[in-house]
């Protein structure tokens, strides 16, 4: 009922919720809702429907979806909710249900029944399975056919059902439709031959005349003109705008075909309609004692259309065969008899055709499944029966129709009260009675044996001898004069509205209706001469023959008197009511807002009248006297548990009932509530409304809570995912690392046994994270390998190797020929092989210098050609010791000219060629620019040795690295100026530096 609170402007969605139950309040609510386009309102589970007289956009698939599987109070009032409830009950409890639609003619019953069937068809056939499609398709299409043949325009309703219809839909245990059955009740066949002003015959005639092809009409000998036929022109309303006969004819013949009527069957139906129209055209003329047919060609048409011959047809129309005392004689009709017989024939043909159509449809949709295999099928029945009717002239048909409505009202009273009472009993709740008008007494007036109107009518019809309608009226007056609901002029002489010897009045639950007795007897007898039955049975058209099996009876056969129309109808009504009473009923109460089919007018008087006779106020009262609302505990909790901390979010009680009790106590509503066995009963609507209001107040908080939780959950999920991603990444990285390391491990496993100690082993491409590690490992491997290689070298050779390594670092790939194998001697000037003549002189000088400067070792000595700042070249010697580097003059007994501490050396420069240029850059001095010469053997390449030794010396003594420039043109500093030196090697040249320019020197030397 949330919606009811939401939509205050639309009034109350359930009359039970009215603050005060008065006529005015009820009508105001009904009117308000009608004016606001809300045509449905509940009384509990009864749907009150007001005919909108305009098409409403509330039957779309979206609406179907909205109501599917929902409870009444979950959505705004709609007939779909009722259809769904019926379906749910049927499916859940495997219980047969029925939907009874009542209301007066034009109130919208037939529309409602179609809406319900469509709803059920669309909720059951979601998967479009062919068998379900077939069944629901036929059920829906058969409506079109039945409306064509069974509906007509009356002054009340352009599409008034002139027969009662009760349609069963069968479902299997899964809730899928598997078949159906249609019961029809009393077709108003008098309409075939007579229509009142402003009315029409059944739609079928007009559809045939206006909708069929020229060819068809010709074959039927018909003209496209309803005004040309007696049976279709009496109402003088043949070309109604609102009834599109042409279109519906197409629809109808399409429906006939798709439901399963063969071409011949359809043709036969059209033939029979034509026969009826032709019958109406017959003109009888009296000729002396005899009666003859003026327009004989019509007889020929009829004969050909029923596949008979003209002679027998004419005979059947003009005479009747009677059997008297074993003899058969032919009795000639009077003109009056002939007319009567003709009309009876026309009505009978039409009625039989209609009956045949219904049976044919039933044959097609009959449940063919084996009950033992598929289990019991359950049923939803939809009753759409003619509504209560008052015309200017009310005859036997209206009498039957209104009696039918009395019976249904009776059922409504019984079931609605019974159900309610049973529920209270079931739930163990005390209950007090509500006063209501029980129309049982009117039903009795009609149907009681001996004393009832039908019984009196039958008695009159049974009488041999001429009994007139007036005599029947007299009999009623006599027998029923005490009855509260019966009057006539004889009983109330002052009532001028009642005509003497013609009218009687019944005070129905829905109002007083004056009936004219004229025709009652004849219609009740419903006589058709045997001659016609025989004629049709003898037809060579098998369909027609099939319709008239009793035509085979011999004339002489004595048959039991058939039951009268009244009695047949009464029996069928009693049966119907029994059938309905055995099912769980749902009610749609239709109200007609005005007499002029207006979508806006709300005729207060008429509506109030309907509300009164439908007993809607009583209905509300019954509902309210008990409890306005009841809900199973579990459902109640589900809906309202947020109202109390005992139950939110989940209760801790032993049962739902206990939890509901705690909740209700908590919000202080226990004075207005009763606790049944399975349901909680709420007495006043106000309580329910308050509950709903409180609930709506809390809903936003709950939504926020849900949003919060959702967002939290979402964030947590995202977080967990991220963590997982990192974990996976980590694991994967580690896996890659492990793979790499294992792989490298594998490749280097035998390293010690490898000849090259793993030098040629291919290093795998490391994962990114291991790039620097791999570099370090390569270094480690190189070191290890070096150490391993060195291990075999004696310790005293290590310094030599270290020097060579230093030379390697500085010269490899830079200076030509540095690796030429030769022994590094170091102190060449002290060598007898190298410096035979002056070695001893040199050694004396060294001794002197050692004692003066206190150095330990002489690292390298050589004769050199040296250039000074004036570009002058001179022969000198250099001596590198562990403390100082000396320049000596060999010509003067190796007299020292200069001694520079080791730490003043800033770098070395040599050329990339094999010449012996050796430049020692000094801090605070001119660079020592020399070229080694006078070696033995000649032109021995000693520069690499000098470089290796000096580098190693600086490293061990000073713990520092020297820069070595290996260049084409060396840059030097002489006398504070920068000069560049290039080298020119010439055979047999004596080594010398030459000035090229102020900043350029050239070393000329012979190649080594």
Ligand X SMILES: Nc1ncnc2c1ncn2[C@@H]1O[C@H](COP(=O)(O)OP(=O)(O)O)[C@@H](O)[C@H]1O
Q: Which residues bind ligand X (CB under 6 A)?
A: 51-53, 55-56, 103, 105-111, 157-161, 387, 590
Asked if 161 touches Mg ion (CB under 5 A), the answer is yes
User: Is 406 a known active-site residue?
Assistant: no
Q: How many CA atoms lie within 13 A of 871 on its CB side?
A: 15
Q: For residue 759, report the phi and psi dihedrals to the nearest 5 degrees.
A: -65, -35
Residue 107 marked as a ligand binder: yes
| Cβ-based nearer residue to ligand X, 109 or 979 | 109
Residue 976 marked as a ligand binder: no
Residues 6+ apart with CB under 8 A from 367: 170, 178, 179, 180, 377
Q: What is the closest distance, in whole angstroms, from the C-beta atom of residue 102 to ligand X in the complex?
A: 9
Q: How many angstroms separate the CA atoms of 77 and 62, rounded?
A: 15
Give, as one character, the DSSP assignment of residue 900. Answer: E
Instruction: Return the H-helix or E-strand segment holding 253.
Output: helix 245-259
Answer with the entry of Mg ion, ligand X, none that 105 interacts with (C-beta below 5 to 8 A by kind).
ligand X
| Cβ-based nearer residue to Mg ion, 590 or 962 | 590
Q: What is the closest distance, in whole angstroms, from the C-beta atom of residue 674 to ligand X in the complex?
A: 37
User: Is 389 a known active-site residue?
Assistant: yes
Dmax over Cα atoms in the chain, in whole Å? 191
Sheet architecture: strand order including 40-43: 40-43, 46-50, 584-591, 97-102, 378-384, 164-171, 177-185
Answer with the entry of ligand X, Mg ion, none that 111 interacts with (C-beta below 5 to 8 A by kind).
ligand X
List the end-to-end C-alpha distance of the chain, in Å, as a whole number: 115
Q: How many CA atoms lie within 13 A of 893 on its CB side?
A: 6
Q: What is the closest distance, in whole angstroms, from the C-beta atom of residue 352 to Mg ion in the complex?
A: 22
User: Is 157 a known active-site residue?
Assistant: yes
Residue 103 marked as a ligand binder: yes
Tally of CB atoms within 10 A around 220: 22
Q: How many angstroms separate the CA atoms of 303 and 221, rounded?
A: 12
Q: What is the closest distance, in whole angstroms, from the C-beta atom of residue 590 to Mg ion in the complex?
A: 9
> Which is the catalytic residue, given 51, 89, 110, 395?
110
Instruction: Return the H-helix or E-strand segment holding 1005.
Output: strand 1000-1005
Answer with the entry of ligand X, Mg ion, none that 53 interacts with (C-beta below 5 to 8 A by kind).
ligand X
Give, as one character, the DSSP assignment of residue 761. Answer: P
Q: What is the closest distance, in whole angstroms, from the C-beta atom of residue 597 to ligand X in the complex?
A: 7
Residue 105 marked as a ligand binder: yes
| Cβ-based nearer residue to ligand X, 53 or 249 | 53
Asked if 102 touches Mg ion (CB under 5 A), the answer is no
Asked if 51 touches Mg ion (CB under 5 A), the answer is no
| Cβ-based nearer residue to ligand X, 251 or 522 | 251
> Which is the catalytic residue, given 44, 106, 179, 826?
106
> Which is the catalytic residue, given 45, 147, 389, 618?
389
Q: What is the closest distance, in whole angstroms, from the C-beta atom of residue 619 to Mg ion in the complex?
A: 22
| Cβ-based nearer residue to ligand X, 157 or 572 | 157
For residue 112, give Cα distances in angstroms to 71, 591, 614, 632, 939. 19, 12, 17, 29, 126
Q: How many angstroms separate the CA atoms of 894 and 330, rounded?
A: 181
Judged by CB under 5 A, the stretch of 135-143, 159-167, 901-909, 920-928 that binds Mg ion is 159-167
Strands (E) in 651-699, as ranges, are 673-675, 679-682
Number of residues that bind Mg ion (CB under 5 A): 3
Tracing tokens 């008197």 back to the chain, one arrives at 561
Q: What is the closest distance, in whole angstroms, from the C-beta atom of residue 164 to ligand X in the complex?
A: 11
**DSSP β-bridge partners for residue 323:** 328
Structure tokens at 593: 């807002």
Q: Where are the alpha helices (DSSP H) in 582-684?
A: 604-613, 616-625, 633-640, 656-666
Q: What is the closest distance, in whole angstroms, from the C-beta atom of residue 109 to Mg ion in the complex?
A: 5
| Cβ-based nearer residue to ligand X, 536 or 576 | 576
User: Is 696 a known active-site residue?
Assistant: no
Structure tokens at 421: 């009472």
| Cβ-based nearer residue to ligand X, 602 or 824 | 602
User: Is 554 a known active-site residue?
Assistant: no
Asked if 113 touches Mg ion (CB under 5 A), the answer is no
Q: For residue 597, report the phi and psi dihedrals to the nearest 5 degrees.
A: 55, 35
Tracing tokens 């919000």 back to the chain, one arrives at 667
For residue 603, give Cα distances in angstroms to 37, 277, 487, 611, 788. 16, 39, 29, 12, 118
Answer with the entry of ligand X, Mg ion, none that 394 interacts with (C-beta below 5 to 8 A by kind).
none
Is residue 672 within 8 Å of 684, Cβ to Cβ? yes
Q: What is the closest distance, in whole angstroms, from the C-beta atom of residue 164 to Mg ion in the complex?
A: 9
Residue 109 marked as a ligand binder: yes
> Which is the catalytic residue, given 136, 157, 395, 439?
157
Answer with the entry of ligand X, Mg ion, none that 103 interacts with (C-beta below 5 to 8 A by kind).
ligand X
> Which is the catalytic residue, given 105, 143, 881, 1008?
105
Residue 254 marked as a ligand binder: no
Query: 679-682 and 917-922 as β-strands: parallel, antiparallel, unpaired?
Result: unpaired
Q: What is the closest distance, in whole angstroms, from the C-beta atom of residue 101 to ligand X in the complex?
A: 8
Chain centroid offset of residue 371 CA: 34
Q: How many angstroms separate the CA atoms of 933 and 911, rounded?
A: 15
Q: What is the closest distance, in whole angstroms, from the C-beta atom of residue 590 to ligand X in the complex?
A: 6
| Cβ-based nearer residue to ligand X, 89 or 157 | 157
| Cβ-based nearer residue to ligand X, 107 or 929 | 107
> Which is the catalytic residue, given 235, 387, 615, 758?
387
Strands (E) in 472-616, as ranges, are 486-488, 503-508, 511-516, 584-591
Plot region of 871 (φ>0 → left; ψ -120 to 50 → alpha; else → beta): left
Sheet architecture: strand order including 977-985: 970-974, 977-985, 1000-1005, 992-995
Q: How many angstroms separate the CA atoms of 107 and 123, rounded?
A: 26
| Cβ-based nearer residue to Mg ion, 14 or 147 | 147
Structure tokens at 37: 């386009």
User: Is 557 a known active-site residue?
Assistant: no
User: Is 161 a known active-site residue?
Assistant: yes
| Cβ-based nearer residue to Mg ion, 110 or 930 | 110
Helix, strand or coil, per DSSP, at residue 420: helix
Asked if 110 touches Mg ion (CB under 5 A), the answer is yes
Among 290, 402, 291, which residue's Cα sits nearest to residue 339?
291
Is residue 34 within 8 Å of 602, Cβ to Cβ? yes
Q: Given the rule CB under 5 A, which residues bind Mg ion?
A: 109-110, 161
Annotated binding site for ATP: 103-110
Annotated binding site: 103-110
Residues assigned a catalytic role: 105-106, 110, 157, 160-161, 387, 389
């Amino acid at each position: 009922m949330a919606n009811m609170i939401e939509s205050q402007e639309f009034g109350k969605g359930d009359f039970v919720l009215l603050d005060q139950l008065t006529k005015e309040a009820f009508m105001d609510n009904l009117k308000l809702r009608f004016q606001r386009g809300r045509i449905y309102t509940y009384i509990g589970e009864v749907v009150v429907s007001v005919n909108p007289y305009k098409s409403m956009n509330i039957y779309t698939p979206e609406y179907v979806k909205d109501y599917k599987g929902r409870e009444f109070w979950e959505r705004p009032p709609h007939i779909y909710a009722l259809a769904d409830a019926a379906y749910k009950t049927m499916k859940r409890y495997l219980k047969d249900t029925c939907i009874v639609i009542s209301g007066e003619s034009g109130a919208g019953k037939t529309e409602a029944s179609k809406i319900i069937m469509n709803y059920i068809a669309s909720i059951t056939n979601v998967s479009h399975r062919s068998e379900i499609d077939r069944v629901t398709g036929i059920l829906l299409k058969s409506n079109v056919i039945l409306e064509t043949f069974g509906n007509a325009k009356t002054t009340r309703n352009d599409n008034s059902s002139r027969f009662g219809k009760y349609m069963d839909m069968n479902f299997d245990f899964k809730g899928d439709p598997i078949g159906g059955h249609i019961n029809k009740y009393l077709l108003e066949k008098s309409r075939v031959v007579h229509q009142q002003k402003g009315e029409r015959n059944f739609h079928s005639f007009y559809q045939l005349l206006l909708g069929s092809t020229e060819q068809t009409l010709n074959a039927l000998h018909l003209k496209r003109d309803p005004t040309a036929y007696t049976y279709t022109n009496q109402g003088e309303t043949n070309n109604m705008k609102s009834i599109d006969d042409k279109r519906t004819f197409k629809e109808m013949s399409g429906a006939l075909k798709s439901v399963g009527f063969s071409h011949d069957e359809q043709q036969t139906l059209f033939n029979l309609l034509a026969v009826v129209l032709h019958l109406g055209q017959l003109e009888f003329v009296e000729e002396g004692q005899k009666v003859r047919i003026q327009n004989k060609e019509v007889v020929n048409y009829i004969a050909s259309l029923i596949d008979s011959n003209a002679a027998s047809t004419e005979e059947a129309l003009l005479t009747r065969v009677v059997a008297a005392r074993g003899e058969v004689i032919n009795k000639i009709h009077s003109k009056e008899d002939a007319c009567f017989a003709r009309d009876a024939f026309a009505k009978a043909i039409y009625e039989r055709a209609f009956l045949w159509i219904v049976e044919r449809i039933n044959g097609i949709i009959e449940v063919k499944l084996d009950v033992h295999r598929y289990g019991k099928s359950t049923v939803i029945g939809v009753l759409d029966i003619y509504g209560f009717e008052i015309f200017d002239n009310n005859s036997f048909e209206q009498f039957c129709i209104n009696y039918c409505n009395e019976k249904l009202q009776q059922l409504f009273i019984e079931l609605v009260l019974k159900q309610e009472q049973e529920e209270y009993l079931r739930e163990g709740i005390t209950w007090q009675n509500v006063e209501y008008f029980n129309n049982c007494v009117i039903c009795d007036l009609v149907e009681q044996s001996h004393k009832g109107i039908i019984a009196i009518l039958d008695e009159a019809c049974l009488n041999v001898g001429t009994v007139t309608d007036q005599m029947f009226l007299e009999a009623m007056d006599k027998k029923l004069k005490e009855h509260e609901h019966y009057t006539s002029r004889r009983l109330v002489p002052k009532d001028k509205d009642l005509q003497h010897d013609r009218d009687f009045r019944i005070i129905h639950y829905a109002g007083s209706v004056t009936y004219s007795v004229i025709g009652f007897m004849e219609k009740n007898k419903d006589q058709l001469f045997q001659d016609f039955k025989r004629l049709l049975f003898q037809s060579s058209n098998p369909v027609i023959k099939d319709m008239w099996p009793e035509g085979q009876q011999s004339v002489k056969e004595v048959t039991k008197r058939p039951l009268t129309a009244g009695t047949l109808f009464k029996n069928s009504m009693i049966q119907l009511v029994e059938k309905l009473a055995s099912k769980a009923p749902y009610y749609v109460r239709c109200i007609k807002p005005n007499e002029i089919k207006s979508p806006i007018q709300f005729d207060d008087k008429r509506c109030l009248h309907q509300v009164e006779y439908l007993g809607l106020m009583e209905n509300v009262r019954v509902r309210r006297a008990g409890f306005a609302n009841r809900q199973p505990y579990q459902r109640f909790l589900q809906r309202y548990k947020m109202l109390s901390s005992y139950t939110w979010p989940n209760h801790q009680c032993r049962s739902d009932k206990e939890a509901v009790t705690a909740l209700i106590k908590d919000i202080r509503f226990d004075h207005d509530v009763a606790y049944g066995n399975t349901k909680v009963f709420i007495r006043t609507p106000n309580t329910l409304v308050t509950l709903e209001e409180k609930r709506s107040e809390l809903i936003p908080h709950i939504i926020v809570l849900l949003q919060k939780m959702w967002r939290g959950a979402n964030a947590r999920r995202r977080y967990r995912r991220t963590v997982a991603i990192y974990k996976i990444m980590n694991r994967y990285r580690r896996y890659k690392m492990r793979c790499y390391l294992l792989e490298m491990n594998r490749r280097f496993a035998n390293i010690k046994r490898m000849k090259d100690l793993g030098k040629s082993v291919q290093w795998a491409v490391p994962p990114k994270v291991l790039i620097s590690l791999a570099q370090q490992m390569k270094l480690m491997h190189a070191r290890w390998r070096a150490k391993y290689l060195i291990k075999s070298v004696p310790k005293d050779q290590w310094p030599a190797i270290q020097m060579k390594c230093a030379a390697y670092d500085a010269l490899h790939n830079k200076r030509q020929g540095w690796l030429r194998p030769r022994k590094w001697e170091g102190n060449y000037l002290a060598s007898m092989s190298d410096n035979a003549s002056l070695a001893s002189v040199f050694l004396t000088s060294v001794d002197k210098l050692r004692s003066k400067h206190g150095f330990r070792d002489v690292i390298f000595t050589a004769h050199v050609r040296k250039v000074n700042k004036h570009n002058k070249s001179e022969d000198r010697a250099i001596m590198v010791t562990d403390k100082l580097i000396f320049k000596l003059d060999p010509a003067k007994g190796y007299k020292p000219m200069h001694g520079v501490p080791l730490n003043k050396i800033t770098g070395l420069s040599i050329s990339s060629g094999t010449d012996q240029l050796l430049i020692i850059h000094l801090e605070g001095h001119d660079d020592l620019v020399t070229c080694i010469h006078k070696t033995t053997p000649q032109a021995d390449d000693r520069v690499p040795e000098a470089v290796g030794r000096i580098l190693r010396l600086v490293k061990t003594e000073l713990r520092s690295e020297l820069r070595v420039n290996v260049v084409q043109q060396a840059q030097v500093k002489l006398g504070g100026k920068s000069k560049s030196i290039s080298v020119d090697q010439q055979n047999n040249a004596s080594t010398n530096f030459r000035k090229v320019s102020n900043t350029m020197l050239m070393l000329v030397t012979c190649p080594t």
